[in-house]
Amino acid sequence: MSALIIVEHDNQTVRENIRAVVTCARQVADSVTALVIGDNCRAVADATAAIAGIDKVKLVQHAALAHGISENCAPIIAAESAGMTHVLMAAGAQAREWLPRAAALADMQMITDVIAVNAPDTFVRPLYAGNALATVQSSDSVKFMSIRPTAFAPIEGAGSASVEEISGGADSGQTTFIEARTSSSDHPELTTAKIVVSGGRGVGSAENFQLLETLANKLSAAVGASRAAVDAGYVPNDYQVGQTGKIVAPDLYIAIGISGAIQHIAGMKDSKCIVAINKDPDAPIFEIADYGLVADLFEALPQLQAALE
Amino acid sequence: MKILVTVKRVIDPYIKVRVRADQSAVETDGVKMAMNPFCENALEEALRWREAGIANEVVVLSVGNDSCVETLRTALAIGADRAIHVKAANTPQPLATAKIITAVAKREDPGVIWMGKQGIDGDYNQTGQMTAALLGWGQGLFLSSAKFADGVVTGESEVDSGIRVIQVKTPCVLTADLRLNEARYATLPNIMKAKKKPFETLTPEELSVDASDRLTTLIVNTPPPRAGGVRVADVAELVSKLREEAKVIA
Ligand SMILES: Cc1cc2nc3c(=O)[nH]c(=O)nc-3n(C[C@H](O)[C@H](O)[C@H](O)COP(=O)(O)OP(=O)(O)OC[C@H]3O[C@@H](n4cnc5c(N)ncnc54)[C@H](O)[C@@H]3O)c2cc1C
Ligand SMILES: Nc1ncnc2c1ncn2[C@@H]1O[C@H](COP(=O)(O)O)[C@@H](O)[C@H]1O
């Protein structure tokens, strides 16, 4: 069994979630090759080679691969999947752009959001916003799968894989990258933060979200939000937690002014400890909260801030 | 240009799903169904493009059993011009669905295929990307805005780090996020009118597509519920619980 893992990066640094992918890959295969696709990203390949559990790193560099345009990147994944038994990538926007396209090019049925491996061909994945878990067996010769980094303990330690640069990359001319609008934030990354402070429609405005930002600073936490808060323009889209946003599983998740719709709960219910602050004692979020505080957030947050000083 | 819109029939998003007693699947019998929310936004965008003169025809496509007819009728009542139902006993998996959509696209020759970014049933988020791959077309995914000019779509794609602005040449596949627009509803007179709109029924065999499954579902489970916690009286109690009991803050 040989696995190909696709490295997520920004041409400079490797996204931390790769360590969870390695853990999953080691459960299905005895040899693990990492594929780095990008431009001017030798440092990424070197950093990947220094992660435990990886036997070999393949590097493809080309100007047309700089921005991760799927039309240019997916054919490389499809070609490199030949001879592999598994192709794995951390679930997220990049995996959603690349893997289904690569899988279709290779005529394979991808498996989205794997949360457990029962056998090299049998996996558990959530359906319906995590309200059901399906155990599925794949008959494909190459299993393309995105895996939830929150479901696999990151592999620890260092490695010393070899790096092989392979030629490849071409511009299909179909899609052009124009610009990235990234919300600058000093907080840790939402999907890997130990503590997440999340706000919903109850927060009421973009200005009021500052209360959560301040609390997050105090706790070295990331800031998240419900879809309703994003829709209302309080915070950018990358803050969204849920079925159709990001999946998080921090040690502590503090839901503030969030009602607890199933689509939101889908994104945070695997958090170790959940706190809910809501003025409605019947809000569904209390059903899954370890600690529920019925209170007006505008009174509770300053008190919380003070108690943490 | 012609726009093809794919609409999937799913369990209503606000219904709490139940796993069947035999653990073979999620129960759909007697459960309220609806058009997949993301497909509503895809259809809405196509209709707006027609109203803006960018498109002259909006064709809706659904793949699945006979109950898809109702979803397609709804799409016609909302404003689509014509419907195609590809009849399959069980809803095919994304790769097979993409092959069916590809075969229909080759017959219909649309300039754009508008799809939902995700089906809220299987939560795959695959079919649009696979369709684009099979057609050899560009893809604009998870769009919260899309503007068409001179054969090129400029879209704002929602990615993990924020928004990525891209330009995709037509023909292409575009997938909608809920933030793309606010979908309209069908009105009663339009529901009546929709009954007269053209409706075609096909099968995967007629399209020469092998729609067989690659994934076999062995069992479907209900995840263990999270044990309910406690209510704290005030912020002071909350902080002490977090420090001393849960030990999640210093
Ligand atoms: C297809 C689909 C996908 C979706 N995907 C997602 C997703 O990924 N993530 C997501 O979050 N949602 C998602 N949703 C939306 C989801 O259904 C809910 O609409 C949304 O989560 C509600 O957000 P909310 O809890 O912030 O707002 P509301 O439901 O309006 O709740 C606001 C809460 O704030 C409380 N409140 C108000 N004022 C105060 C105050 N002063 N102090 C304390 N509490 C206060 C209220 O009591 C209320 O409980 C999706 C929906 C659909 C249909
Ligand atoms: N059976 C189907 N019939 C029509 N459209 C579909 C079907 N399956 C998937 N789609 C389209 O593909 C999108 C993504 O679905 P999925 O890949 O299942 O998450 C949906 O929002 C639909 O627009």
User: Chain A contacts of B243, Cβ < 8 Å?
Assistant: none
**Model-level pTM greater than 0.90?**
yes
pLDDT digits (tens, 9 = 90+) for A36-49: 999 999 999 999 99
Name residues 5-64 of chain A within 8 A of B (Cβ).
Answer: none
CA A84 vs CA A97, B139, B235: distances in Å: 21, 26, 54
- Structural domain B2-218, CATH architecture: 3-Layer(aba) Sandwich (3.40)
Ligand 2 centroid to Cα of residue B36, in Å, is 8
Task: Characterize the bridge pairing of strands B112-116 and B82-87.
Answer: unpaired
Find chain B residues with C-beta within 8 A of A235's C-beta: none
Look at chain A and count its residues. Answer: 309
Is the pLDDT score of A186 beyond 90?
A: no
Burial class (CB in 10 A: 0-12, 13-18, 19+), B218: middle
Quote the pLDDT of residue A184: 72
A64-78, A180-194, B21-35, B223-237: range with lowest mean pLDDT: A180-194
User: Which of A7, A56, A14 has its CA nearest to residue A33?
Assistant: A56
Distance CA B21, CA B139 (A): 40
Q: Ligand 2: which of B115, B142, B215 to mutate, judged by most atoms within 8 Å of the beta carbon? A: B115
Give exposure, A160-176, as e/b (b: 16+ Cβ within 10 Å): ebeeeeeebbeebebbb
If DSSP codes are grouped into helix, strand and coil, which group holds residue A258?
coil
What percent of chain B has a predicted confidence (pLDDT) above 70? 100
What's the CA angle centered on A96, arms B87 and B1, to 5 degrees?
A: 55
Res. A183: pLDDT tops 80: no
Asked if B149 reaches chain A (Cβ–Cβ under 8 Å), the answer is: no
Domain extents in chain B: 2-218
8 Å CB contact of A230 and B179: yes
* Residue A229 CB–ligand 1 contact under 6 Å: yes
Q: How far apart are CA B95 and CA A82, in angstroms?
A: 18
> Could you tell me which residues come within 8 angstroms of residue B244 by beta carbon, excluding any fewer than 6 positions away?
none
Q: pLDDT tens, B61-98?
A: 999 999 999 999 999 999 999 999 999 988 999 999 99
SS3 state at B59: strand
> In DSSP terms, which residues pair with B152 in a beta bridge?
B149, B169
Q: What pLDDT sits at residue B99?
A: 98
Q: Which residue of A has its CA nearest to B215?
A: A138
B7 CB within 6 A, ligand 2: yes
**Ligand 2 centroid to residue B8 C-alpha, Å:** 5
Whose CA is closest to A293, among A246, A254, A237, A239? Answer: A254
- Scanning A198-227 for CB atoms below 8 A from B yields 219, 227
Nearest alpha carbon, ligand 1 atom 31: A259
Residue B234: its chain A contacts at CB < 8 A?
Answer: 293, 295, 303
Nearest-atom index, ligand 2, CA of B38: 21
Q: What is the pLDDT of residues A131-162, one digit of tens each?
A: 999 999 999 999 999 999 999 999 999 999 99
B205 Cα to the center of ligand 2, angstroms: 19
**Residue B127: CB within 6 Å of ligand 2?**
yes
Region A200-220: mean pLDDT is 97
Count the residues in chain B: 250
**Residue B118's pLDDT is what?**
97
Q: What does the mean pLDDT of chain A come to?
A: 97
Task: Report chain A residues whose CB lies below 8 A from the CB of B140.
Answer: 175
Proximal ligand: closest to the CA of B63: 2
Contact A238 B215 (CB under 8 A): no
CA A204 – ligand 2 centroid, Å: 34
Taking the CB of residue B32, how many other CB atoms lie within 10 A of it? 9
Residue A251, min C-alpha distance to chain B (Å): 7
B151-196 pLDDT per residue, tens: 999 999 999 999 999 999 999 999 999 999 999 999 888 989 999 9
pLDDT tens across A232-283, in order? 999 999 999 999 999 999 999 999 999 999 999 999 999 999 999 999 999 9
CA-to-CA distance for A135 and B218, rounded, in angstroms? Answer: 5
Q: Please judge whether A174 and B169 are an interchain contact, meaning their C-beta atoms are less than 8 angstroms apart.
A: yes
Residue B216 near chain A (CB below 8 Å): yes
Q: What is the mean pLDDT of residues B23-42?
A: 97
